[in-house]
Amino acid sequence: MRILMVCLGNICRSPLAEGILQKKAADRGLNWEVDSAGTNGYHTGETPHRLSQKVAALHGIDISGQRARDFVAADFNRFDKIYAMAEDVIDEIKYIARSRFDASKVTLIMNEVEPGSNKDVPDPWYGPEPGYHEVYDMLDKASDAILDKYQITNFK
């Protein structure tokens, strides 16, 4: 299983989503590839936001080795599933991918917890630390739902 988590800058939400799902998959003995990317390119090459790193570390997850990268159209060839953190991120994925966009591979991550809710994961970038904890909790639940959905069945 190859999963890509996507947000705008790839320094707050998607690095947390990557770290959470990767750890949970490994804890279940699954050899999944989990990665993350951003659609705006403002932070390419940077480490995750310090508060994302702090909140992850409080849960025993080290995301300090991650580096922000740009989402590219070729990601549709590499990944089985692409999870967007928000509706505007899906719009950017469509724009970047153009003819390579495959709607069957892309969904809002919170739709795994609440199907059809189309709920965004809020961007904690401008807020204080509690927002990062809220995002962690949302992504933790989504990761459990993803694992429960795909760990037993062959995705393809």
What residue spans define the domains of the chain? 2-150
80 pLDDT higher than 90: yes
Annotation marks residue 12 as catalytic: no
Catalytic position from the list 7, 12, 35, 69: 7
Q: What are the two backbone dihedrals, phi and then psi, of residue 3, each rounded to the nearest 5 degrees?
A: -125, 135
Is residue 126 pLDDT above 60, yes or no? yes
What is this structure's pTM?
Answer: 0.96
- The listed CATH number (3.30.479.30, 1.10.3720.10, 3.30.930.10, 3.40.50.2300) that belongs to domain 2-150: 3.40.50.2300
Per-residue pLDDT at 156: 44
The answer to whether residue 123 is catalytic is yes
In tens, the pLDDT along 26-79 reads 999 999 999 999 999 999 999 999 999 999 999 999 999 999 999 999 999 999
SS3 136: helix
CA 155 to chain centre: 18
- Tell whether the model's pLDDT for residue 155 goes beyond 70: no
- Active-site residue identified among 13, 35, 69, 75: 13
Q: Look at residue 154 in the predicted model and tell me its pLDDT.
A: 44
* Residue 80 a catalytic site member: no
Check 69, 102, 123, 144 and give the catalytic one.
Answer: 123
